Amino acid sequence: MNFELPQEYRLLNESIERFAREELMPLEPAVLQREAQGQGSELTHAEQARIDAKAKELGFWGLDCPEELGGSDLPFLAMVGVHERLAYSAVHYEFSPDSANARMLLLNGNEMQKAQYLAPYVRGEIRGAIVISEPGAGADPSGMATRAVRDGDHYVINGRKIWISFLGNADFGLVMARTGDQRGARDGISAFIVDTKTPGFKIERRIPMLGGRFTYEVVFEDCHVPAGNLLGVEGKGFDPMKDRLGSRRIQMASWCIGRAQRALDMMCDYAPQRKTFGQPLADRQAIQWWIADAATRIHACRLMVQDAAWRLDNGVDAKSQLSMVKTFATEMSWEVIDHAMQLFGGMGMTKEMPLHLMATEARLMRVYEGPNEVHRMVVARNALAGAR
């Protein structure tokens, strides 16, 4: 078994690492200052536009999108390193388009939908968001109550959604709604592409989250959506969702590796310098074990994520592996970053360092895209079914 990445992926990783150090990390002081003042940790429009322009100039647009749409058609395995290196900076930034949403459109959209939404999405001309969770249906989306009723050449959507990321700047949402009558079943749920400026699509509130991030609550009130905006087959909305979730979980696990690697590097830089009772922290066994455990778990996690990505690229079942990496990576990064905060002592508790943003993002990801407890249920169920 060859564990060495192809040279083209290694060269790409070096380019992304340089991009993160030169374009993202210099923005950390400004982002940290805004977050400390209660203004959030998101990039300003000017910062976003400048970095987007640089990324596009360097050819980082649409990396995992088809070449005919202007992308580079990179596989999941190549994107692991891309996401990891972008996440080395505490400044949250993603190349356009969002990998998970783009894949959902790519694999399930018809030609009209790809031309109207996916192509400009890849070019960075529009932005999208996924609109699934509801106040009473988060981890178990089969409990969703939002309804879409066919009315001639339109569907009329009514309901409420919550915890929607990136909706403030989105031009369209990938909305899940019930088209069948059986509440509590996954069959009968459909996916729709909905322009956010459609009458009846109302952002109710912006919700402050940990780490200066925001999510949104949205209400649908007689929101008329063209029937042509049905994504995939009516009543089979979970099929497009499955394509999206695999991509997102690979992405999240890769982010966790990047954050944890940054925390480990910070520990390794600081521990030899800081002395307590006449001895460098690097000579203390507790610190050495924190560093050793961090290095070991990061290495194990990277191999797990690469294996899951390889499975997706080769059409091999990866359901258990995706749940494993989502759980393992988010908990690994939380513990590594927590030890880094402890090592830095008082400074580790301040908002002048990036560690608190990294920690809160790791904490958020233990809930986002399915709570870790649900993923453990998936792994256990599959393991028990295959027990011999």
pLDDT tens per residue across span 147-195: 999 999 999 999 999 999 999 999 999 999 999 776 555 678 999 999 9
DSSP at 210? G
pLDDT higher than threshold 90 for residue 57: yes
Q: How confident is the model at residue 236 (pLDDT cuts 50, 70, 90)?
A: confident
Q: Say if residues 122 and 62 touch (Cβ distance below 8 Å).
A: yes
Pairing of strands 172-178, 128-131: parallel
**Residue 276 burial (10 A CB sphere; 0-12, 13-18, 19+):** exposed
Contacts of 298 (CB under 8 A, 6+ apart): 257, 260, 261, 264, 332, 336
Say how far apart CA 144 and CA 238 lie, in whole Å. Answer: 12
CB distance 188 to 178 below 8 Å: yes
Q: What is the pLDDT of residue 320?
A: 94
pLDDT one-digit tens code per residue, 106-148: 989 999 999 999 999 998 899 999 999 998 776 777 788 999 9
What was the pLDDT predicted at 387? 60
CB-facing half-sphere around the CA of 150: CA atoms within 13 A: 13
What mean pLDDT comes out for the span 223-231? 96
* 234 labelled catalytic: no
Q: Which of 242, 254, 246, 373 is nearest to 302 (CA)?
A: 254
Of the residues 35, 134, 361, 369, only one is catalytic, namely 369
- Give the number of other Cβ atoms within 10 Å of residue 129's Cβ: 23
Q: Is residue 313 within 8 Å of 103, Cβ to Cβ?
A: no
68/91 Cα distance (integer angstroms)? 31
- The predicted-structure confidence for 1-38, as pLDDT tens digits, reads as follows 677 888 999 999 999 999 999 999 999 999 999 999 99
* DSSP 8-state symbol, 138: S
- CA distances from residue 348 to 186, 258, 263, 342, 362 in whole angstroms, order as listed: 45, 19, 11, 6, 16
- d(CA 260, CA 359) in angstroms, rounded, equals 9
In this prediction, residue 184 carries a pLDDT of: 54
The radius of gyration of the chain from alpha carbons, rounded to an integer in Å, stands at: 21
> In the predicted model, is pLDDT for residue 250 greater than 90?
yes
Helix (H, G, I), strand (E, B) or coil at 164: strand
- Residue given tokens 């999108």 in the structure block: 65
Q: In the predicted model, what is the mean pLDDT of the chain?
A: 92
Long-range (24+ apart) CB contacts under 8 A made by 14-20 are 15/58, 16/60, 16/81, 16/82, 16/85, 16/86, 17/85, 17/88, 19/54, 19/55, 19/58, 19/60, 19/85, 19/86, 20/85, 20/86, 20/88, 20/89
**pLDDT at residue 182 in the model:** 62
Average pLDDT over residues 190-203: 96
How many other CB atoms are there within 10 angstroms of residue 376's CB atom? 13
How far is C-alpha 102 from the geometric centre of its chain's CA atoms? 13
